[in-house]
Amino acid sequence: MAHKKSLEALDRTLRDLKKNDQLLGGSLLLLAGDFRQTLLVIPNSTPADKLNACLKTSPLWKFVKIFTLKSNIRVRFCRNETAQHLADIL
């Protein structure tokens, strides 16, 4: 996970470079990952500091559109019952 300030800085930089006041200067940014997996690593910080630094607390979060995968392609083509069972649990 990236610190929310780095994405906010990218937003300001793209707006400035493109001379466009739209979000990210009108560019599209694709972020991939699982927000539940890891928090930021901030040395000597409290859990509250880590939560405050994540993207979900940024003003940019309201512009994020979340897409989720519906089908596990690896499991579908593997045809393994154990893999299918694990995918169903997840």
Q: Which amino acid is at 15?
A: R
Q: In the prediction, which pLDDT does 67 show?
A: 87
Q: In the prediction, which pLDDT does 74 show?
A: 77
Q: In the prediction, which pLDDT does 88 show?
A: 79
Query: pTM value?
Result: 0.71
**Blockwise average pLDDT, block size 10, the chain, 90 residues:** 89 96 94 75 88 88 88 78 80
Question: Into how many domains does the chain fold?
Answer: 1
Quick count: other Cβ atoms within 10 Å of Cβ 86? 12
Q: In the prediction, which pLDDT does 90 show?
A: 72
Token representation of residue 60: 């940019």
Note down the domain range covering 29.
4-89
Cβ burial 32-42 (10 Å sphere, 16+ → b, else e): eeeeeeeebee
Q: In the prediction, which pLDDT does 32 show?
A: 83
H/E stretch holding 49 reads helix 47-53
Residue keyed to tokens 């509250």: 48
